[in-house]
Amino acid sequence: MRDYSKTEIRLQRVATRQLKVSYKRLTPEEKKLVKALEGINQSELDINRFWRTHTKRDENNHIILDDKESELFKFLDDKHRSYSKKLDRIAIKNNWSDEKIDQIWRLHQQDNCHSVSY
C-alpha cells in the first residue's frame, strides 16, 4: 500500500469532490441575473460547438444544413435569445448599468473559484 502525504490526500479530495455553484452573497434579483449570464455563456458554447462540428459545404463554400441541423441551430439560437431577453429585462427592471452587472458577475466568479492552490 502506498503511503500518501497530507498534500496528496488534500489534492485528491479537491479533485474528486462535486463542486456546486454557490449563490450565497447574492440577492434574489442578482441570482436571476447570474443564472441568465450562465445560460448565455452555455448557449454560446453550444452554438460554437455546433459550428465547429459542422463541415458540410457546397462548391461555393456555403454551409449546407439539412432539416435536423437547421432545427437544432434554431433551437440553440432561440435559447440564446431568450436568455439575452431575460438578462435585459432584469437589468432594466433594477436599473443596473453594465458596470454593476460586471461587478455582480465578478463577485459570483470569486465565490465559485475552486482553486487547488493553498
SS3 8: helix
Q: Which domain holds residue 71?
A: 6-111
Q: Does residue 1 sit within a domain?
A: no
Q: Does residue 118 sit within a domain?
A: no
| pLDDT of 107 strictly over 70 | yes
- Would you state the pLDDT for residue 86? 96
Q: Does residue 99 sit within a domain?
A: yes
87 within 8 A of 38, measured Cβ to Cβ: no
Q: Does residue 80 sit within a domain?
A: yes
Q: How many domains does the chain have?
A: 1
Query: pTM value?
Result: 0.75
Measured CA to CA, the distance from residue 98 to residue 37 in angstroms comes to 12
Q: Does residue 20 sit within a domain?
A: yes
Measured CA to CA, the distance from residue 40 to residue 105 in angstroms comes to 13
Q: Does residue 58 sit within a domain?
A: yes
31 within 8 A of 25, measured Cβ to Cβ: no
| pLDDT of 63 strictly over 60 | yes
